[in-house]
Structure formats: structure tokens, C-alpha cells
Chain A
Amino acid sequence: GAGVSQSPSNKVTEKGKDVELRCDPISGHTALYWYRQSLGQGLEFLIYFQGNSAPDKSGLPSDRFSAERTGGSVSTLTIQRTQQEDSAVYLCASTHQFFGPGTRLTVL
């Protein structure tokens, strides 16, 4: 596609449920990043994929967070047993740090 797309745009879930957020990077872009933007913490790096290399997971806040990138394209960020502090906007970016519109996650 023309730009980075993310789905859903909004997600409301109950505490303790699992959620999956999807990112579709710009076609042909080999790098993919996940960031989180929250009121208290600002914009934080979560995880980085580059081609077939092992991902850089250094920014994941806990083992409840995981991400996959299948076929070197689409990525899914999974948050298990969501907590209220997970409420944030989750942003995806591809090569050259072009960002998608984000997914706003609200955990009730």
C-alpha cells in the first residue's frame, strides 16, 4: 500500500483479556518498528524487525508483550492478560521511520 496501515484503529478491552494489533508496512520495506505512546511515558520503542534477523525486543515492557512478523511483511503485536496501564496508542513504523495511524487501546 501507499503507507503504513494499522488495525483496528480503536480497541476497547477488559482487563485480563488478550489483544492482537496488526501492522501492514509499506510494500518492500524490510524494517518494521512498534512504539507505544502513553500520557505518562511519551513515545517509547517496543520492538524492531529487520528482514530475517532476530528481532530487537529490548523495549518490550514485560513478557505479556510479544510480536511476530510473518513472511517479512505484516506484523502482529500481542498483549496477553491486558492491564489498565497497557492503555496507550500503539504505533507501527516501517523503514525510514514512516509511521502508521496507530491503534488506540483502552483497557477497562
Chain B
Amino acid sequence: SQELEQSPQSLIVQEGKNLTINCTSSKTLYGLYWYKQKYGEGLIFLMMLQKGGEEKSHEKITAKLDEKKQQSSLHITASQPSHAGIYLCGAPRGEYGNKLVFGAGTILRVKS
């Protein structure tokens, strides 16, 4: 199994609905990155969480880090077609946290 498990693997939501994507680690989390990717394109940085209990928001996207549960959640409010894509979480690993391990991604489709 993967070190970072994302759920769900995919989801389809109606435009305007809220949704949550989870990222659960099998190891201690020392931080967590969230990215969005459109097919065939690079990763767009969304936000980075560094401390347990930290919560960040950007436009309609909010992410939280729960250190105790070794989990992060990404919440999108009032989804729009522009939110469609693949959402990836990445956790720092290595002696100095100098590389990321990634989850398999969550594919989001937003129906108009």
C-alpha cells in the first residue's frame, strides 16, 4: 500500500456543491503539500501546511493538517468547473525533508 492514501480516488460533484478530499499518512507528518494538476500539465502549488492544527485558505479552497490523525483534508466550497482536475498531496520525507512522497491523486469532475 502507498505511504500516502488519498480518498476518494475520484469524485463527480454538481457545480456549487462542497467537497472534501482526504490524505492519510502511514508515517508521522512533518508537513503536507497540496497541488492541483490538469491532465498533461505540471503541478500547481495550492498550499503547504507545516504545523499540526494549521489551516490555510486560498479563495474557495481550505486545507487542514491533523498531526495526531496523520491526516490532511482539502475542502472546496461552492465548486466550479475551474476546480476540476487531479488533486495531489505530498509529504516531506528524507533526513532533511528534502523530497516529497505523493499520494496517488484524487480526480475531481465538476458538472455544470
Asked if A102 and B41 make an inter-chain contact with CB atoms under 8 angstroms apart, the answer reads yes
- Closest chain-A Cβ to B88's Cβ sits at a distance in Å of 7
B84 located at the interface, meaning its Cβ lies under 8 Å from any Cβ of chain A in the complex: no
Q: Does A25 sit at the interface, judged by CB under 8 A?
A: no
Which residues between 79 and 100 of chain B lie within 8 Å of chain A, taking CB atoms? 88, 90, 94, 98-100
The interface-forming segment of A13-21, A42-50, A67-75, A76-84 is A42-50
The prevalent SS among residues of B at the interface is: strand
Tell whether, in the assembled complex, residue A99 and residue B100 are in contact, meaning their CB atoms are under 8 Å apart: no
Task: Report how many residues on chain B are interfacial, defined by Cβ distance under 8 Å.
Answer: 21
Assuming the contacts A97-B45, A98-B45, asked whether A48 and B98 have C-beta atoms less than 8 A apart, the reply is yes
- Interface-lining segment among B10-18, B21-29, B101-109: B101-109
| Main SS at interface, chain A | strand
> In the assembly, what is the distance between CA of A43 and CA of B89, in Å?
10
A107 vs chain B, min Cβ distance (A): 18
A22 at the interface (CB under 8 A from B): no
Quick check: A48 and B88 within 8 Å, CB to CB? Answer: no
By the criterion CB–CB under 8 Å, are A91 and B42 in contact?
yes
B-contact bits for A96-108, CB 8 A (1 contact / 0 none)? 1111111010000
B40 touches A104 (CB 8 A): yes
Asked if residues A33 and B99 are in contact (CB atoms below 8 Å), the reply is: yes
Instruction: Determine the chain A residues whose CB is within 8 A of the CB of B102 once the complex forms.
Output: 42-44
Q: Give the interface of B toward A (CB within 8 A).
A: 2, 33, 35, 40-45, 48, 88, 90, 94, 98-105
Q: With A45-B101, A102-B41 given, can you name 4 additional A-B contacts, CB distance below 8 Å?
A: A6-B42, A45-B100, A59-B99, A102-B42
**Interface, chain A (partner B; CB < 8 A):** 4, 6, 31, 33, 35, 42-45, 48, 50, 56, 58-59, 91, 93, 96-102, 104
